[in-house]
Structure formats: C-alpha cells, structure tokens
Structure 1
Amino acid sequence: MKIAVASGKGGTGKTLLATNLFNVIQQSGYAVDLIDCDAEEPNDQQFIKGKLQGQQLVTQNIPVIDKDRCTFCGKCQEFCQYNAIIIVRSHQHIRVFEDLCHDCGACDYACQSGAISWQAKTTGTLTTYEYNQHSLLVEGRIAVGVYSSVPLISQAIKGAKPEQITILDAPPGTSCPFIATVNEADFVVLVTEPTPFGLNDLKLSVQALQHLNKPFGVVINRGGLGNQDVHRFLTENKLPLLDEIPFDRRIAQLYSEGELITNNISAYNKQFQELFIRIKKQIEHDRDSHT
C-alpha cells in the first residue's frame, strides 16, 4: 500500500508525521520505504539517519529544433499545451522555453518535417539511503532553477517496491507537485493544525482529494493550540479524524534536534502504532466499500 502524508500548507507537521509513521511501521516488522517527495525542500534525511546507498541524476528531454529543416508551420506551437514553443513566422524565428517544457512529446508528434531532436537536461537527483535490511529512504531533490518538480517526483515514486508499504511525504500546498504525489497513493493522511490558516488550507486539500476520488483521513497536529473550528468542520462534513497530536514542548525540542519522538517518548510511540492500525483499517474499509 502507498500512504501519502500531505497538507494544504507548510509547517503543519507533515514531516513529523511521515518520519515517525515510517519509524513505527518498520519497528513493527513491516518492510517499508519512505519517499521524500518535497523535492524543493526535502528534509526527511535529517530524521531518518540511513546509510548512503546511491545517487542518480534525473533528466528531462528538451526539444531542439533544426531551423534548417523547420518549415515554421506552427504545428509544434499549436500542440504544446504548456506554451513552451513560440514561433514568429514573419521573421522565421522559433524558440523553446526550457523551463515551461514538460517533456510530453506533443511537439515531436506534430512536426511533419523531422526538425525536432532531443537533448537531456538534468532536473534533480534521487538519493537512496538504506535504513535497515528492509527499509529505504529515497530523497528527491530538484536542481536549482528547474521550474517543475513533477517529473522528479514521478521518478522518485517509481523507485518504491510494489510489494511493501510506502510512505510518500508530499510537498505542501495543492498545486501540481501535491497532485503528482497523492495521485499515486492508496490513502492520504492530511495533516492540519487547529488555526484559521490550518482550516482554510485543509478545506482546499479536501476539495482536491474529493475531486480525485482519493480516500483520506485527517490528523490534527498541535492539538489545543487554537480553536475548535477544524473539529466542527470535520464533524459537519463527516470526515474521519484519525488522530490528534498535542501541542507539546518536548516534540518541538526533539524535532529541532533532528530526533524522532517515537524513539524518545514511549507514549508517542504507542500513539503512532495505534495511528497506523487506524490507517490500515480505514484503507480496508474503503476497499471493501468499493468491491
């Protein structure tokens, strides 16, 4: 099963949840991989201290247009849905905007004159750390100046072993990187906080997942910090509350030191073990309801 841990905004505790959930799952004897899909700011490795296993470059194909063969018909520009190609016929000028290219191949399909070839552009790196014999951490890190992390995220998720549990630490927000991550998940854990900002971004995340028809549950982090509006929203909309992590100074201190709370506070180890059980039951319930 693939479990995505996501949030509508940064700073809600998504990494806290993903890393500690990974920790208790592997402690329970399951084979589990953690994929850090927050490619712009990956930080799971600060908490999961694994042995470096390998690193690979991730590349994207960029079209190169031979102006001697190009007829400036405009078909490539017409087929490109990302406005990555511009043609000025009067000056017989054509240009590819690499930052906008999504490597979809539509321009090559459209070109009838054979004017398009391809060159590889490095978009980031995938670094793999061995945590133990059965568990890995895969970190996606986008290269500086690269516009979209979606291809890198897709490549990182492909590295997960299909026969075991995978935790996907999703990028914050509800834009394309978020969609690329949660779309591959069997279940999504939404992390929020009991504040007006937390509620607003939770609503956006819920709308996105409902549109994708993805099953999900909610974890409230820093419980007791704000008000009860998030609880009311979940109750009114009959959304599952999986757990609530209290606003605890000890969590902040351990987190700032790069330590896992499930390794240092027995009560939280038990709480995350029980959270994993609830997630499994929720996934089983959702599967049964669709069969």
Structure 2
Amino acid sequence: MNIAVLSGKGGTGKTTVSTNLSIALNANYVDCDVEEPNGFLFLKPNIEDVKEVEEEYPVINKEKCVGCGMCVKACNFNALAKVKDNILVFDKLCHSCGACQYVCKFGAVEYAKRVIGKIECGTSYGLSVKQGILNIGEPMAVPVIKKLLNSIDRNELNVIDCPPGTSCNVVNTLKYSDFAVLVTEPSNFGLHDLKLAIELVKSFNIPFGVVINKDNGEDNIIKKYCRDNSIKILGTIPFNKKTAELYSRGEILYFDNQHKNIFDELVNNIREVLSWN
C-alpha cells in the first residue's frame, strides 16, 4: 500500500509529516519531490545504490533528412524546429513520444539517450528509503518520478513524499497512491491550496484525511472548513518552540515523547479511515 503525503503549497510541513509517519508506521520512505528532495536531511540514510535516469531524445540523421518538416509538424511539444532546410532539436523539451520518428518517411529520425537525474536508495532506522533527484537545469521531473515509483513494491507499506502543489508532478504521483494525507496550515493561503489538493485527490477517488501543521489549538479556519465539509482531521502538530527547535536541527520528531504521541494518534486515525474504505 502506498500512502501519499501532499500539500497544495510548499512549506506546510509535508516532509516533516512524511518522514515521521514513515517511522511511526515502520514503512518505507519514498521522496518524489525530485526537484528539491530534503527528506534525507532528517532520515540521514546510508546510501547503498545510485541509479541514473535516462530519457530518450531525437537525433536527426543529416544524410537521410530531406528537410520536409513532417517531424516538426508532428511534435506537440515544440522540441523540433525547421530553420531553412535544417531540423533543430531542443532535447529538453522532448517527451519521448516517438511521433517524429513515426511520421518520418526517410528514416532520418533516430533516438539517443541522455541522463536527466538519478535515484538514490539506502536504509535508515531499519527502513528502506529512496529519493529521486532531477539534474539542475532539467525542466521535466515526471520521468524521474515514474522510474522512482516503478521501483517500489506496492505489496509493502510505503510513505510517498509528494512534490508540492497540484501540478502534473503530483498527478503522476497520485496514480500510484492508495491513500492521501493532506498537510496544511491554518492560514488563508493554506485553506486556498488545501481546497485545490482536495479536489485533485477526489478526482482520483482516493480516501484521504487532513493534518494541520503549526496548530495553536484554537478553532481555526481549517478546522471549520473540514467540519463543514465532513473531512476527517487525522491529527495536528503544535505551533510551539520545541517543535521548531527539533525541526531546525534536522531531528526526527517521533523520537520525542510528546511528538511520538501525536504521530501514534495520526497512525491510528489513518488506520480508522482505511477500515471505512
């Protein structure tokens, strides 16, 4: 089973919840925030394996190319352009769909591979942990995310640390998910982006619940919204100095007795929601 932890916006505490939930559940940790993975800053794993992620891109054989431009017309991603009789390739825009090669009647379109990122695998606190890392300057994270998620075993319990927001990176992550934990904060921005995340999760028909980070214990706008819309609040993380100090030192909150109780309750509530579904 894959439990996805996501948020409508960055900075809500998604990785804090993901890493601690992984330990509380004794589950594997998978960091799909490949543009800025930081779960390993807290888990501090021993890296045991590194695999490169390659992506295909077209190469024009100039001896065969007649400059007809059919490949350019077939590309929906503007990865090809015709300049006079030459075909230019913008490899970072290519989605490796193969359309250009398919329409070329002269066999002038070939494919090569380039490295766009890597996947690091290791162990931390007896758990299997993985993270994807997109190379600097690469515009498309989805190929790295897909390869990372295809490497995990859905028969095991996995906590997936999703990318922030509700972009195609998150959409491709949710395709592999069985349950969603939505992390938010009690602010107007937090509520706005939580609504976006809820609509996205509902479109996949995935059971979900909400975790409120930086909670001051009062009846805030997130609690009112969840109550009015019959949305389960799985737990809250207090807005206090101790939590901030542990986080700033890169420590696992679950190893603190006060926070252990918080995440144990979160785990129990997740199991309760799953039993309903």
TM-score greater than 0.5 by the shorter chain: yes
Please list the CA deviations of residues 49-79 of structure 1 after superposition, one character each: whole Å capped at 9, or x if unmatched. Answer: 2222111111111111113322444433333
Distance across 1 between alignment mates of 2:80 and 2:219: 50
Counterpart residue number, 2:169: 177
User: Aligned partners of 1:74 and 1:215: how far apart in 2?
Assistant: 48
String of CA shifts for 1:151-173, please: whole Å, max 9, x gaps.
00111111212321011101111
Q: CA separation in 2, counterparts of 1:139 and 1:274? A: 27
Code of the aligned partner of 1:149: A
- How far apart in 1 are the matches of 2:73 and 2:205? 32
d(CA) in 2 for partners of 1:55, 1:175: 27
- Paired residues, number: 277
Counterpart mapping for 1:172-211 below 5 A = 172-211=164-203
Q: Does 1:40 align with 2:31?
A: no
> Paired residue for 1:233?
225
Deviations 1:3-26 (A, max 9, x none): 110011111000110000011112
User: C-alpha distance in 1, partners of 2:71/2:224?
Assistant: 51
User: Structure 1 residue 284 and structure 2 residue 275: aligned?
Assistant: yes
Superimposed CA distance per residue, residues 201-221 of structure 1 (whole angstroms, 9 cap, x where no aligned partner):
111111222223332211111
In the TM superposition, residue 233 of structure 1 has moved relative to its aligned partner by: 1.9
**3-state DSSP class of the match of 1:47?**
helix
Give the CA deviation at 1:270. Answer: 2.2
Indicate whether 1:96 and 2:89 are aligned. Answer: yes
- Percent identity of the aligned residues? 38
Are 1:194 and 1:227, in contact at CA under 8 Å, matched by a contact in 2? no
Is the aligned partner of 1:125 residue 2:118? yes
1:195/1:226 contact within 8 Å kept: no
Bigger Cα displacement from structure 2, 60-69 vs 209-218? 209-218
Equivalent in 33, 54, 57 of residue 59 of structure 1: 54
CA distance in 2, matches of 1:130, 1:5: 20
Partner of residue 115 from structure 1, selected from 108, 121, 129: 108
**For 1:256 and 1:132, how far apart are their aligned partners in 2?**
20
CA RMSD of aligned residues (A): 1.8
Letter of the structure 2 residue corresponding to residue 161 of structure 1: D
Measured at CA, do residues 225 and 107 of structure 1 come closer, stay the same or move farther in structure 2, by a change above 3 Å? farther
Unaligned runs of 5+ in 2: none
TM-score calculated relative to the size of structure 1: 0.89
* Structure 1 residue 111: Cα displacement: 2.4
Asked whether the equivalents of residues 235 and 265 of structure 2 are also in contact (C-alpha less than 8 Å), the reply is: no
Is the 2:56–2:96 Cα contact (8 Å) retained in structure 1? yes
Q: Cα 1:106–1:33, aligned 2, differ >3 Å: closer, same or farther?
A: farther
**Contact 2:7/2:183, CA 8 A, preserved across alignment:** yes
Secondary structure, aligned partner of 2:62: coil
Contact 1:194 1:226 in 2 (8 A): no
Q: Which amino acid in the other structure matches residue 186 of structure 1?
A: D
Residue 148 of structure 1 is aligned with which of 140, 144, 167? Answer: 140
Counterpart of 1:4 in structure 2 is: 4
1:192–1:218 Cα contact (<8 Å) kept: yes
Counterpart-to-counterpart distance in 2, 1:188 and 1:110:
41
Question: Could you tell me how far apart the structure 1 residues matched to 2:45 and 2:160 are?
Answer: 17
The structural deviation recorded for 1:105 is: 2.1
